[in-house]
Amino acid sequence: MNTAAIYHEARTPLCCALDKETLQITLRAGLDVQRVTLIYADPYEAGIAGGEESWQGRRMEMRPAVRLEQHQLWRAVLRPPYRRLRYCFEVAAEGETLYYYEDGLRAKLQLDNHVQCFTMPWMNPADLIAPPEWVRQTVWYQIFPDRFCRGGSGRGGGQPWRDGPVTNAERFGGDLAGITAKLPYLAKLGVNGLYLNPVFLAGSIHKYDTADYSRVDPDFGSEADLEQLVRAAHAQGIRVMLDAVFNHCGPNFAPWRDVVAHGPSSPYWSWFFVRQWPFDEGETRDGRYFSFAFHGGMPKLNTNEPAVQEYFIALCEAWVQRYGIDGIRFDVGNEIAHSFLRRLRARLKALKPEPYLLGEIWHDAPAWLEGDEYDAVMHYPLQSAIRRFFEDKARPAAAFGWDVGRCMSVYAPQVNAAQFTLLDSHDTIRLRSRAASEAEYWQQLTALFTLPGSPCIYYGTEVMLDGGPDPDCRRCMPWAKVEAEGPSPSLCTLIALRRREPALQGSEIEFLPGAGRLVHYRRGAGGSRLEVYLNAGAQPEAVAPGGADLFALAWDGETLAPGGVLVRRV
């Protein structure tokens, strides 16, 4: 038996409360393991822990859940009657059975206090990971405000609206009134969540160098225009999420200007990480002060500092109270202090029970998703898994399941259902510019809408808008093309499917064997189940008949052509 591959710890996601009464336990093992049995009891069933008593464990066969490239995850779901559990595992491979405890593997079962069993001490309802339920039914639409639509609320002027490449130095005049004017279009497209890149006062076009967090940038309009946008969006059934840039500020943020002017005598000295005094503002690789990505114009805020925490928590409370927003996306969310995020969450959830708190984190982020900080993160690892499969034509269909399964194995099921999933954004190459073909474009979008998570499309996806790396991914919305051709019917169908089908709104997924590069997986549980096929290979693939087709491309009822897509109810 490959004992080095066996792993469990009594914490999320391997030991996870799904609700206040239901516990999910997962064991990771090597591919040689054939059977796993959970042996469990209440910790106090045989008396008070610490004595010499032995205990009689109940047994539950664990089921194989997610298959990874080198591991198999085994899973059990149970309802401990007293909301606590003591447990160990019986692990069987060909010709060998071992027992796995918190303090190691043994050759025989030993249910007494001479071994250290795993323990879930108490399933506290307050500790439950519980992202807002509405996020499961949400399809997001991301807008970079300057490039979306002119409506007359901003300063006017700017470059003539155009197709093709752009730079970060060019202002085109998109504004809040323009977004408001296009809300009926977005509602007809089917999206019901709006994510706006920063709208508050800043010196740049992108607005990630904030000067005043309480004032809407005149480029986009006024505070009244933002209020009107949120009201109008809510009237259309669309929720609104704002971008919060709290890791760093811009060079004209008043507390920073005070530090620049007065140094250690400034009351805001502790708000930043200044390491040399005096200093010149500029590139910071020499460590004169900490900044975002060594950019001297984006000094890093000290979110460990209580005064900084209180300033930004009160600011978020004001955003929620004044504008009625439904979510906040935190830029560079992995560099913000955990203590700040815990305080912020507690205050905001007390003010409004279901705001969606989203962190911009590009790597696995379980430390931020244990129920007391963010509700979700931007799931860039999932984007990478999808991209890797389609770009590496040598990877078999099973690899798609291995890579996606790995991304999901990092988190609790309720987090997977709420993760902000995306294929491109203002920080990446647009999907159409990196997809090798139009067929691959639609296969990746089908994956986005049928895998677990709360999917987001970047403005222009509905007309296959292309664009290279930042800043080229921030092109003007091609309204002439939209008006001439309309949004893609295929995308409208996928959006409607994702919002309509309960099977796509949870975290249940089963990857099934597929020939060559024929990806095949099943979503949902019980009576609500869908199957998805993506033929990413070079040959047609036969698909067994059955079920009701809900969305299909390059499918003749028997054979799925290369580049083909099939989603059906089973």
Q: Which residues are catalytic?
A: 331, 360
Enclosing H/E stretch for 58: strand 58-61
C-alpha closest to that of 326 among 521, 196, 452: 196
Residue type, 235: A
Cis peptide before 413 (omega within 30 of 0): no
Distances (CA, A) of 234 to 196, 219, 458: 15, 23, 20
Residues linked to residue 29 through DSSP beta bridges, in sequence order? 72
Q: How many C-beta atoms lie closer than 10 Å to residue 460's C-beta?
A: 27
8 Å CB contact between 523 and 503: yes
Alpha carbons 495 and 506: distance in angstroms, whole number: 16
Name the nearest CA neighbour of 68 among 333, 419, 398. Answer: 398
* 3-class DSSP assignment, residue 106: strand
CB of 132 closer than 8 Å to CB of 414: no
Distance CA 522, CA 541 (A): 18
What span, in angstroms and rounded, lies between the C-alpha atoms of 65 and 345?
32
Give counts: helices (H), strands (E), the chain. Answer: 13, 26
What amino acid is encoded at 123 in this protein? M
Taking residue 559's Cβ as centre, other Cβ atoms within 10 Å add up to 14
Cα–Cα distance between 155 and 152 in angstroms, integer? 8
3-state secondary structure of 206: coil
Give the position of tokens 């996870």.
16
- Quote the tokens at residue 86: 């003591």
Asked if 166 contacts 476 with a C-beta cutoff of 8 angstroms, the reply is yes
Query: Quick one: CA torsion of 512, 513, 517, 518, rounded to 10 degrees?
Result: -60
**How many angstroms separate the CA atoms of 32 and 74, rounded?**
13
Give just the sign of the alpha carbon dihedral 321, 323, 326, 328.
Answer: negative
Q: How far apart are CA 100 and CA 6, in angstroms?
A: 8
Q: How many CB atoms lie within 10 A of CB 520?
A: 21
**How far does CA 379 lie from the centroid of its chain?**
4
Full 3-state SS string of 474-494 = HCCCCHHHHHHHCCCHHHHHH
**CB of 145 within 8 A of CB of 176?**
yes
Closest CA to 298 of 289, 309, 307: 289
201: CB partners within 8 A, 6+ apart: 210, 211, 212, 213, 215, 216, 217, 218
